[in-house]
Amino acid sequence: MSRIPLVPEITEPLPSIRESEGLLAWVASIDHKQIGIMYLIATLFFFLVGGIEALLMRIQLVRPENDFISPEVFNQLFTMHGTTMIFFVVMPFLIGIGVYLVPLMIGARDMAFPRLNALSYWLFVLGGLLLYFSFFTQSGAPDVGWFAYTPLSEKPFTLNKGPTYWVLGLLATGIGSVASGLNNIVTIITLRTPGLTMRRLPLFVWMILVTSFLLIFVMPIITSAFAMLLLDRLLGATFFMPATGGSAILYQHFFWGFGHPEVYILILPAFGIISEVIPVFSRKPIYGYEFVAGSTVAIGLLSLGVWAHHMFAVGLGNVFNAFFAIASMLIAIPTGIKVLNWTATMWGGKIHFATPMLFAVTFLIEFVVGGLSGVAIASPPIDWQATDTYFIVAHFHYTLFGGSLFAIFAGVYYWFPKMSGRMPSERLGKWHFWLTVIGFNLTFLVQHLLGLMGMPRRVYTYHDLPYWGDMNLISTVGSLILGLSVIVFVWNIIASLRSGIPAGNNPWNAWTLEWATTSPPPVHNFDLVPPVHGRRPLWDLAHPDMPDK
């Protein structure tokens, strides 16, 4: 009996976007790995732009009464530098590397909602373009600070179109961020490979999960504040205009209600990177897994109730300030637990100083500097001196640059072989590392002193007061070294992509699932996901005689 096929045999493959080569394969992609890499490329671009903005500011401040750039341009530069580095570099980098790694780390084929994933990415790009389009308007880019306090950012005081583009750009990326948050949560909860329970989840994925909850809790706060500001600016509403019955302070509550959790959105995934890198290069499991994961949840929850420590100088009263002081100081406890656990992970290990580990170890010390100065300024009487001075600039660069960005560099060097299939150059990596460490500390260490000596932030010029010129000169020299380090970094990426040594599946001898597949991984990620019986599936495979508990 002959069989009659109901569907004719396919003789030619169906047209597929994945088979097309070149730009379209990327632009039209819904593959999480391609989208992840596109995030990294776009953030590298914005990183270079934001870095140039910073260098221009440092050149202006190199000596007292300098007139390299006008006050208008200076104010645009610090507004754009802050906005760019926060919303278009650190945040999308961490979201992007999460998008690349989360499915691989949990043994999934892709994110739960691949199209939503692409939408998030393109909204972020759209936001960046809207923001930077403002440079082409007649009055230039926004010049009201990355915080855009009302009423200064309201129409009567800032007629420029800048702040309007700023709001629109951040609204677009913000919507994308909420979508990423939802996508991550659903992916992590529903797509884990069998055996990968929540208690076995890689710590990086834990941190992404907590970050994603923060994203969906706090982005709506700033989105509504932006909507109100937009109504004020475009339709003559008066939400934040005191002269016509609005409240200037209300905006600050909205802004920091988002803005402080935001700094944990910028640091928690970085903690995740550190929690992956330090164990692998110490050849030991993370010390106190439950406490590292648990303290992340604690930080996430506490971060929702500390926003007004940005407002100690607003004059809201001793009782109000005391509440936010203690809430902020409490965050030091779970953060301290993490630092000690990372340190204990290295104890008794066999530490391999490859570039990712160099950045991770330096992260530890620099983040502690930023964390400790953070505890100090959580105390209102200290903040009454320090706030709005260079002390704060130093503080948050130690957390955001010495912290987040050092972790990002560690992550780039660590996962570069997985993404590209080639090893990054160790020699250039070490050059990059040392130039970054020296440049960073030269730039920002003296700024603590400048702040304590009374130099306010956001000033385009300053008088020749004792030592101000010297310290600003040191800071500018440091920033130029940082500029050089970035050139080495970019050169390393380009050179290693072209001619790096082939990496193989698992060059670092690591233990999480992304290292079980090829480098770079195939479109479907895994031919076969290894069985998961513990937190380190590849350790268990390699050491069947002594598997993890």
- Two tokens, residue 527: 């031919």
Q: Is residue 149 a contact point for other proteins (CB under 8 A)?
A: yes
Q: Is residue 524 a contact point for other proteins (CB under 8 A)?
A: no
Burial class (CB in 10 A: 0-12, 13-18, 19+), 465: exposed
Judged by CB under 8 A, the stretch of 101-109, 118-126, 267-275, 283-291 that binds other proteins is 283-291
DSSP calls for 22-55: SHHHHHT---HHHHHHHHHHHHHHHHHHHHHHHH
- CA dist 362 and 403 (Å) reads 9
Q: Is residue 537 a contact point for other proteins (CB under 8 A)?
A: no
Residues 6+ apart with CB under 8 A from 236: none
Q: Is residue 305 a contact point for other proteins (CB under 8 A)?
A: no
* Contact set for other proteins, span 452-481 (CB under 8 A): 452-454, 456-463, 465-467
Q: How far apart are the first and last CA of the chain?
A: 57
CA atoms within 13 A on the CB side of 66: 18
Q: Which is nearer to other proteins, 98 or 537 (CB)?
A: 537
Q: Is residue 372 a contact point for other proteins (CB under 8 A)?
A: yes
- CA dist 117 and 108 (Å) reads 15
Q: Is residue 285 a contact point for other proteins (CB under 8 A)?
A: yes
Q: Is residue 325 a contact point for other proteins (CB under 8 A)?
A: yes
List 164, 173, 296, 321, residue binding other proteins (CB under 8 A): 321
The strand pairing partners of 502, in sequence order, are 422
Rounded least distance, CB 314 to other proteins, Å: 5
List 56, 69, 339, 495, residue binding other proteins (CB under 8 A): 339
Q: Which is nearer to other proteins, 70 or 224 (CB)?
A: 70
Question: Which residue bears the tokens 């003789």?
Answer: 11
Q: Is residue 329 a contact point for other proteins (CB under 8 A)?
A: yes
> What's the one-letter identity of residue 167?
V
Question: Which value, to the nearest 10 degrees, does the dihedral of the CA atoms of residues 383, 387, 390, 392 take?
Answer: 70
Q: Is residue 495 a contact point for other proteins (CB under 8 A)?
A: no
Q: Which is nearer to other proteins, 151 or 403 (CB)?
A: 151
Q: Is residue 543 a contact point for other proteins (CB under 8 A)?
A: yes
Q: Is residue 66 a contact point for other proteins (CB under 8 A)?
A: no
List 20, 64, 115, 384, residue binding other proteins (CB under 8 A): 384
Rounded least distance, CB 485 to other proteins, Å: 22
Q: Which is nearer to other proteins, 364 or 529 (CB)?
A: 364
Q: By the 8 A CB rule, do 101 and 416 touch? A: no
Rounded least distance, CB 185 to other proteins, Å: 27
Peptide bond into 544 cis (omega under 30): no
* Contact set for other proteins, span 227-266 (CB under 8 A): 242-243, 246-249
Question: Which residue bears the tokens 């960046």?
Answer: 128
Q: Is residue 71 a contact point for other proteins (CB under 8 A)?
A: yes
